[in-house]
């Protein structure tokens, strides 16, 4: 049951191919960004993605990320209608990937969010550790529910 998605049919055994089959689309990556950097947790928050995501695409991606074990979902204890989406350990392990992508773009393209970029350049590992700490705190808080 928990191993539902563990034996998918892949186009090759290459590790990068496994990555891109799960992440090789921009919406998944943008969702993960908002979870990691902005603490987004609800459907409505994801709908507010700055880039503008369609409801059917959001639903589809959340389902996929869940199936891949990258995120998990639970009801909000303070509002039975709301769902809370959380990164799993597998999900938070994507922090270095997203960090490197941000740094790459910042080096080669005109982009915003300069404070974050400065921080990443100054102490990449420290920022990743910080993201992990916030995630761990979220885990502890939701385990208490």
Partner DNA sequence: GTGTTTCACTTGCATAATGCAAGTGAAAAA
Partner DNA sequence: TTTTTCACTTGCATTATGCAAGTGAAACAC
Binding site for a second copy (CB under 8 A): 6-7, 11-21, 23-26, 29-30, 33, 50-52, 69, 90, 93-94, 96-113, 116-117
57 vs 101 by CB, closer to DNA = 57
CB of 101 to DNA, least distance (A): 18
- H or E stretch at 86: strand 79-87
Does the footprint of DNA cover residue 98 (CB under 7 A)? no
CB of 73 to a second copy, least distance (A): 19
C-alpha torsion 20→26→32→34, nearest 10: 160
Does the footprint of DNA cover residue 27 (CB under 7 A)? yes
CB of 32 to a second copy, least distance (A): 9
Does the footprint of DNA cover residue 135 (CB under 7 A)? no
Residues forming beta bridges with residue 71, ordered by sequence position: 87
Q: Which of 90, 98, 81 is nearest to 31 (CA)?
A: 98
CA-CA distances (angstroms) from residue 133 to 28, 73, 90, 145? 22, 20, 15, 19
Does the footprint of DNA cover residue 17 (CB under 7 A)? no
């Amino acid at each position: 049951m928990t191993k539902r998605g563990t034996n998918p049919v892949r186009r090759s055994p290459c590790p990068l191919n496994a990555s891109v089959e799960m992440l090789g689309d921009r919406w998944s990556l943008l969702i993960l960004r908002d979870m990691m950097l902005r603490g987004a947790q609800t459907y409505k928050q994801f709908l507010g993605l700055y880039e503008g995501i369609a409801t059917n695409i959001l639903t589809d991606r959340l389902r996929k990320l869940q199936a891949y074990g990258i995120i998990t979902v639970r009801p909000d204890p303070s509002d039975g209608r709301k769902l809370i989406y959380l990164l799993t350990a597998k999900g938070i392990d994507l922090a270095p990937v997203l960090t490197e992508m941000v740094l790459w773009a910042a080096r080669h393209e005109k982009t915003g969010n300069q404070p974050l970029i400065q921080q990443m350049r100054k102490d990449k590992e420290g920022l990743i550790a910080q993201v992990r700490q916030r995630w761990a705190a979220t885990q502890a808080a939701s385990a208490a529910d």
